[in-house]
């Protein structure tokens, strides 16, 4: 994992990161999951740069024998200064269009957040900053990533972050992830 807080996609030195042994992984990667910054889809200039950098990263990743997946970010919540109900649609559009351009798997994490908030409006999937996920938001994202990459339902997985997430809520989060992925890939 290479994570740079608040970074845009172009801040990641993908060539260096993909070199076997550089980040503790000796074998070549099979799948590289890329994610842009939360605000990249909200500015036409930043969205255009995201797509340019993505195309460059995609060439290098594929040349090294790996596939690309795009982690569709969740939109800002109402607690964030840049919250706008239209942001989720902009984020979805950017990731889907970019994914189609480079033939990448798009992981619909942002849509899973939208669906969870629709079903359970009192849940707190975002921290008070309105940007970063809470523990249950992170769990929902992980379930969505699992369902998208492996094509299997996370429903019934017993893992609850060592009991930090109540079993019934974990099951609800798993179901949201499953339903979102199913709807996204098989509308």
Q: Say which residue, 21 or 176, is predicted with more confidence.
A: 176
Share of the chain above pLDDT 70, in %: 96
What is the pLDDT confidence band of residue 11, given thresholds at 50, 70 and 90?
A: confident
> Given this model, what pLDDT does residue 6 score?
65
**Residue pLDDT, tens place only, 35-69:** 988 888 999 999 999 999 999 999 999 999 999 99
Q: What is the mean pLDDT of residues 165-175?
A: 98
Q: What is the mean pLDDT of residues 152-178?
A: 97
Which of 73, 72, 71, 82 minimizes the C-alpha distance to 129? 82
pTM: 0.93
Mean residue pLDDT of the chain comes to 93
Which of 155, 89, 133 minimizes the C-alpha distance to 97? 89
Query: Taking the mean position of all CA atoms in its chain, how far away is CA 17?
Result: 19
Q: CA separation (Å) from 99 to 70, 96, 156?
A: 7, 5, 30
> Given this model, what pLDDT does residue 17 score?
85
> Given this model, what pLDDT does residue 176 score?
98
Q: What is the mean pLDDT of residues 147-157?
A: 97
**Cβ pair 80, 117 in contact under 8 A:** no
**Residue pLDDT, tens place only, 100-140:** 999 999 999 999 999 999 999 999 999 999 999 999 999 99
What is the pLDDT confidence band of residue 145, given thresholds at 50, 70 and 90?
A: very high
Q: Say which residue, 72 or 11, is predicted with more confidence.
A: 72
**Does pLDDT of 1 surpass 70?**
no
Q: Which residues contact 36 (CB under 8 A, 6 or more apart)?
A: 8, 9, 50, 54, 73, 94
């Amino acid at each position: 994992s290479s994570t740079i807080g608040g970074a845009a996609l172009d801040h990641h030195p993908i060539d260096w990161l993909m070199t076997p042994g550089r980040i503790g992984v000796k074998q070549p990667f099979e799948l590289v999951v890329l994610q842009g910054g939360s605000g990249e889809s909200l500015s036409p200039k930043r969205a255009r740069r995201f797509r340019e950098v993505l195309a460059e990263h995609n060439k290098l990743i594929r040349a090294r024998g790996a596939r690309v997946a795009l982690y569709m970010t969740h939109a800002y919540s109402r607690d964030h200064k840049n919250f706008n109900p239209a942001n989720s649609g902009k984020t979805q559009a950017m990731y889907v269009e970019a994914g189609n351009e480079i033939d990448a798997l798009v992981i619909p994490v942002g849509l899973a957040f939208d669906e969870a908030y629709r079903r359970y409006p009192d849940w707190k999937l975002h921290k008070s900053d309105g940007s970063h996920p809470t523990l249950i938001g992170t769990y929902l994202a992980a379930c969505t990533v699992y369902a998208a990459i492996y094509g299997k339902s996370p429903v019934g997985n017993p893992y609850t972050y060592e009991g930090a997430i109540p079993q019934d809520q974990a099951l609800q989060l798993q179901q949201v992830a499953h339903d979102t992925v199913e709807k996204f890939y098989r509308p």
